[in-house]
Amino acid sequence: MSAVQQASLIEALRAVKDPELHVDIVSLGMIEDLRVEGGAVSLTVNLTTPGCPLKAQIEKDVRDALGKVPGVGSVQVKMGAKVRRSIETTDNLIPEVANVVAIGSGKGGVGKSTVSVNLALAFARSGASVGLLDADVYGPNDPQMLGTKLKPEIQDRKILPVTVHGLKLMSMAFFLKEDEPVIWRGPMLHGAIKQFLGDVQWGRLDYLFIDLPPGTGDVQLTLSQVIPLTGAVLVTTPQDVALLDVRKAAAMFRKVNVPILGVIENMSYFNCPHCGERSEIFSHGGGRKTAEANDAPLLGEIPLDIRVRQGGDDGLPVVVHDPKSGPALAFRDMAEKLAAIISVNTYRKFQSEVMARP
């Protein structure tokens, strides 16, 4: 391909912008393997997240832009994805993890683990490489929710996480006997969390989700100290008593400089399966108020649905077992929104670092 043809194609592609970042795909480095044979053009477009909901639109824009270049007869586009890294670790705890998202609530009983499991699965089903760390040391139940009886293995002095439904999973539940309580003080919790990060062979991950315990205590502080977090997602239910606690969690994250990426309202409403009538059993709108108070987006509202509860009890998460159900589609939509927010924040951070260089 001549230099003129190369320049013409690149210039045409500069007219195509990422709809979320509002920057052209050439400047974003999304173009790879641009080739031409006669009038046939082929290229790879790497999105910033595998689950990009605007994938079809970007592909169409690329085809339209290249089709206008004189001499181009056909265009073959391969859509890929390369998740950008939002964190840099200095102690080599998780060197191959691109993004770390904490999921917290400030209190128990709001379905935080249910959200963590299904949200992580929604990311994995989009094509991303995903890990889930069950950091609720006192009450770990993610393995049960995922329906796994497997145990981690040791290889080269590293713990291998259990892989289930495409997720890499680590939990204290793997190392406890049934009904055995964990009675630990702060320093022991600190050591356990650090071991679950540095001594586990997580490998290359686009996203590591951390299911936090209730409250604003030792585990949350340890995480903010030992690794940089991409941000946190807050889970609440609509009633006022839940909102009071989630506000404390939000204040804790702000105090340790962890961005709040969004808010999820669980048990938001109930649709009667017989008549279709919607009932707001626990009130409604609390998640939106919390999001607005923290200048964060409301990622979504999850209905009170028996399929979600059954999925957690039976080890068949709704995102996997009933992917076309209303709750599963809600989790997928929230995953797409969260992935887009992380991409935008990462790009803005990169731009600000470039601007700050002498």
- Whether residues 244 and 352 share a domain: the answer is yes
- Whether residues 263 and 121 share a domain: the answer is yes
Per the structure, the count of domains in the chain is 2
d(CA 84, CA 350): 10
Segment 8-33, tens digit of pLDDT:
999 999 999 998 888 999 999 999 99
The rounded percent of the chain whose pLDDT value lies above 90 is 53
pLDDT of 134 reads: 94
- Whether residues 64 and 173 share a domain: the answer is no
CB–CB of 135/210 below 8 Å?
A: yes
End of a domain among 81, 108, 129? Answer: 81
Range of the domain at 258: 100-356
Among 287, 299, 303, 294, smallest CA distance to 339 is for 299
How much is the average pLDDT of 194-210?
94
Q: Is residue 222 in a domain? A: yes
- Whether residues 116 and 171 share a domain: the answer is yes
How much is the average pLDDT of 200-220?
88
d(CA 262, CA 260): 6
End of a domain among 24, 47, 81? Answer: 81
- Whether residues 286 and 344 share a domain: the answer is yes
- Whether residues 236 and 135 share a domain: the answer is yes
SS3 352: helix
The rounded percent of the chain whose pLDDT value lies above 70 is 93
How much is the average pLDDT of 138-164?
92
SS3 271: strand
pLDDT of 2 reads: 46
Q: Is residue 87 in a domain? A: no
- CATH at residue 27: 3.30.300.130
**Alpha-carbon torsion (61, 65, 68, 71), positive or negative:** negative
**Longest Cα separation, the chain:** 72
pLDDT of 327 reads: 92
pLDDT of 182 reads: 63
Which is more confident, 182 or 345? 345
CB–CB of 31/66 below 8 Å?
A: no
SS3 195: helix
End of a domain among 17, 49, 81? Answer: 81
